Structure 1
Amino acid sequence: MKKILFALCLATTSLLNLTNSFAQKGKLYTFPIGVESYTYRNSFPKSVVATLDTIKALGITDMEGGAPKGMTEAEFKKMCDERGIKISATGEGYDQLVKDPMDAVRKAKALGASFVMVAWIPHQKASFNLDNAKKAVADFNRAGKVLKENGITFCYHNHGYEFQPYENGTLFDYIVKNTNPEYVSFEMDILWAQHGGADPVQLLKNYGSRFKLMHLKDLKKGIKGDLSGGTPPENDVTLGEGQVNIPEILRLAKKAGIKHYYIEDESNHEYEQMPKSIAYLKSLKE
């Protein structure tokens, strides 16, 4: 399996003539290729080495992720370093972050990461409410302060359910407005924003400076989202083939100064879709 996957990616790399970044004149996407490690959630447990070789072969030099099960942060960082892959951000569970923010700091520094993100606020399924948002605001402000004091930036990653209507906006608006920008930043997942009924373009216009990271992914055309924070994997399609306005999002994201962009493919066809998504980004013009 290892040899097959690696050979497939080498062939794809040769075909697409990928580079480590898209800094060519006139290109819209001018940042190092990044990937969210969850994309390869089915591959890492089988072989960390083969998976990292796959990522390297695609020309990816930036990753958001943590040490795979059974491996220390230092061991994983060493393997990534050997392949020219920087771990710029890592994830942490909500409860663990609240319980021990210094542990999140320790793991981030061991990985060489500058950002820690949380991607889910505990709540009753499809029933995210104001009390959940208020608790998250207090927890994020408190934990984010600890991270900031130790040189790490905390980001909350939207998952769609936060766009529950509230007053003249949404509960996401409430979270943004009530968290301290010194301690709390955000990672925009453009698929989950779209799926939750928000407009990623408008979010960038409203809160551009609060976003530091971005997940690049696309939602299948014709799919109507909801506030559940979930959708079947087949609705996650190759970048540019779905309903998300990726070119305009990237234009505004560049103006906002977003630091890292990670392709996240939650489909079960990541080996087919990832090269196509990278090629799409490479094709975009200013």
Structure 2
Amino acid sequence: MNDYNSRRTFLKQTGILSVSSMLPLSVLPIDYKYKMGLQLFTIRDAMAKDPIGSIKYARELGYEDGEIYGYDGKNDTYYGIKSQEFKKQLVDLDFTISSGHYDFSSLFNEPMDYLKRYVDQCIKGSKTLDSKYITWPWLAPEFRTIENFKILADKLNTIGERVSKAGLQFAYHNHDFEFTDHNGKQGYDIILKNTEPSLVKLQMDMYWVEHSSNKNIHELITENPGRYVMWHIKDMDKVTRDYSEMGNGSIDYKSLLSSVDMEDLQYYYIEQGGNFADNSMQSITDSAVYFKKHLQRFL
């Protein structure tokens, strides 16, 4: 994809070679396999005030893809904007939305018919945005028991089957609580073992695996082929172990990204949940600068 001769052929065919042939290869555009993604929850304060302007700013920083949150299924809106109109704005910005985090947890104890109705709403919104993935992002604290993780696994299979039949894909996103020890058992093990791999994909939050798990990122990916289709990439403060801007933390992403198996990876999203050095918009700026300079070449 980054071959010098193929790029020169393209430039010659498009008439750009006369301008760019004297430029060193290092300053020519690089075609990366993956779009640089942003989990928009990172800038949730800015999104609440001006969602389109915030995405435009992110796009100018080099982010090309995003993961959304906060869908209102009853009104079919994202950030208060009708999904059709939101999609038009995204097209104008040349910005895609490949996945969304949806509020399934609030329906955990509701009848299955309620959950299915919400799933259908999420399918409608996702299709409007041309998103590939619908993602379960969170389980409220009151539900985090071993028995409830078994119930969760069943719900994930049910949703995954419904989403798959609609032509989309479904995934589960981890935090730290899945790795909590319950008398020798972990919720994450139950999810891994009791969900159907073809129906329930996995979105790995690398920060939380490094922060809270006794599991190794490389081993998780290797031992679960075909499942880790999305990653959340965020750094960890060297002292407090809280979130941090990319490059300021303790996770050695240069070693990790240069060695980890990416065969199943489809999308990644840079994220910072809080603990901003200044503010959220400055943080995504600083993270983008560092990521493009030091890490994007691995992706």
Instruction: Tell me the TM-score normalised to structure 1 length.
Output: 0.79
Q: For residue 136 of structure 2, what is the aligned residue in structure 1?
A: 118
Which of 71, 77, 95 is 2:87 aligned to?
77
Residue 223 of structure 1 pairs with residue 240 of structure 2: yes
Deviations 1:83-131 (A, max 9, x none): 100111112111458342211211110111010111112342xx83211
Structure 2: distance between partners of 1:113 and 1:53: 19
Residue 108 of structure 1 pairs with residue 111 of structure 2: no
Residue 128 of structure 1 pairs with residue 144 of structure 2: yes
1:163-182 matched pairs, under 5 angstroms:
163-165=179-181, 170-182=186-198
Residue 203 of structure 2 contacts residue 230 of structure 2 at CA under 8 Å; is this kept in 1?
A: yes
Structure 2: distance between partners of 1:185 and 1:115: 9
Structure 1: distance between partners of 2:239 and 2:98: 34
Q: Could you say what secondary structure the match of 2:34 adopts?
A: coil
Structure 2: distance between partners of 1:56 and 1:43: 14
Instruction: List gaps (5 residues or longer) in structure 1.
Output: 1-16, 24-29, 225-234
Q: For residue 243 of structure 1, what is the aligned residue in structure 2?
A: 250
Q: Report the structure number with the largest CA radius of gyration.
A: 2
> How far apart are 1:60 and its partner, in Å?
1.3
Q: Could you say what secondary structure the match of 2:47 adopts?
A: coil
Identical-residue share of aligned pairs (%): 23
Q: Which range moves more in the overlay, 208-217 or 250-259?
A: 250-259
Structure 1: distance between partners of 2:42 and 2:28: 20
Instruction: List gaps (5 residues or longer) in structure 2.
Output: 1-25, 70-76, 108-113
Structure 1: distance between partners of 2:211 and 2:148: 20
> How far apart are 1:275 and its partner, in Å?
2.6
Q: Could you say what secondary structure the match of 1:45 adopts?
A: helix
Instruction: Tell me the TM-score normalised to structure 2 length.
Output: 0.76
Indicate how the Cα distance of structure 1 residues 19 and 114 shifts in structure 2: closer, same or farther if over 3 A, else same. Answer: farther
Q: RMSD over aligned Cα, in angstroms? A: 2.6
Deviations 1:39-63 (A, max 9, x none): 1101112122321220121121111
Which of 36, 40, 43 is 1:40 aligned to?
43
Higher relative contact order (CA 8 A, sep 6+): 1
How many residues get paired?
A: 252
Q: For residue 19 of structure 2, what is the aligned residue in structure 1?
A: none
Structure 2: distance between partners of 1:168 and 1:18: 53
Q: For residue 223 of structure 2, what is the aligned residue in structure 1?
A: 206
Which of 258, 266, 280 is 1:259 aligned to?
266
Indicate how the Cα distance of structure 1 residues 252 and 208 shifts in structure 2: closer, same or farther if over 3 A, else same. Answer: farther
1:183-194 matched pairs, under 5 angstroms:
183-194=199-210
Indicate how the Cα distance of structure 1 residues 70 and 19 shifts in structure 2: closer, same or farther if over 3 A, else same. Answer: farther
Residue 21 of structure 1 contacts residue 32 of structure 1 at CA under 8 Å; is this kept in 2?
A: no
Which of 165, 169, 173 is 1:149 aligned to?
165
